[in-house]
Structure 1
Amino acid sequence: MALRSHYYLSIADLAHARGPVPSLSYDGAGPDDLAAAVQEALRTPSLFERWRAMQEEPDEVDPALGATDAAATVSAHVHDLRIDVDLITDLPMSIVRHRLNLLIGSNWQLRDMRKA
């Protein structure tokens, strides 16, 4: 059984939190939209499969990078002038990082991580 982790993230400017590829990028307007997009990206292979299809050699992409967690949960809320995101999953940080970077680029910061 995989270890579940609780990731605490923050986004300083949600209005500019977009990934580098527009067709893969988050396009919502608020914290609830962001939480839903990240949760879907972790629970389903859709985002990964779209990204993989864009690669020069899609069949050479490590299939382990497409792992999903059907029980992943994500919530986001405004705190001061930033968005705080709570993410609970058994996916490793390397996969979480990849999905976040596709969705919102480098516009996020890991604030803490703990065993869930």
Structure 2
Amino acid sequence: MATRYYITLPDGTRARGADPDLSFKAVSADGFASELQAALRTDNLFQRWRVRQDDPDEVDERLAATDPNATVTGAQDSLHIDLVVTTSLPGDTFKQRLRLLAGSGWELRDVTAA
């Protein structure tokens, strides 16, 4: 069952994770959407994060889940960026990927069934 998340990036320049190698590089709504969509559809971001952990073998493998059908759309609205994410990934996995990419520079506005 898919879930739709409505996310706001209040300031795209501050929507960056703690590790620059793992965080968003985008500067546009389409760029943020594209990077997040790739992070949900593949485990590339997860694997890059995992090898940086003190004990990579102890990382919960459930966080490696992917959703090849995930979609993300982005729109610029004045000074902030709105993202609409549709995914079947568990909420914990989705939020972990978003925190890696955006740090605390995002807000969850709403969640609905897709």
With normalisation by structure 1, the TM-score equals: 0.96
SS of match in other structure, 2:83: strand
Partner in structure 2 of residue 61 of structure 1: 59
Residue from 67, 85, 88 that aligns with 1:87? 85
With normalisation by structure 2, the TM-score equals: 0.97
Partner in structure 1 of residue 107 of structure 2: 109
Q: How many residues align?
A: 114
Deviations 1:90-110 (A, max 9, x none): 011111110000001011111
Gaps of 5+ in 2: none
Aligned-pair distance for 1:80? Answer: 2.9
Map residues 36-47 of structure 1 onto 2, 5 A cutoff: 36-47=34-45
Q: CA separation in 2, counterparts of 1:65 and 1:96?
A: 9
**Identical-pair percentage:** 45
SS of match in other structure, 2:85: strand
CA RMSD of aligned residues (A): 0.7
Deviations 1:8-44 (A, max 9, x none): 0101000111100011011111111100100000000
Gaps of 5+ in 1: none
Q: Which runs of 4+ in 1 moved over 4 A?
A: none
Q: CA separation in 1, counterparts of 2:5 and 2:13?
A: 22
Q: CA separation in 1, counterparts of 2:113 and 2:94?
A: 15
Amino acid at match of 2:42: T
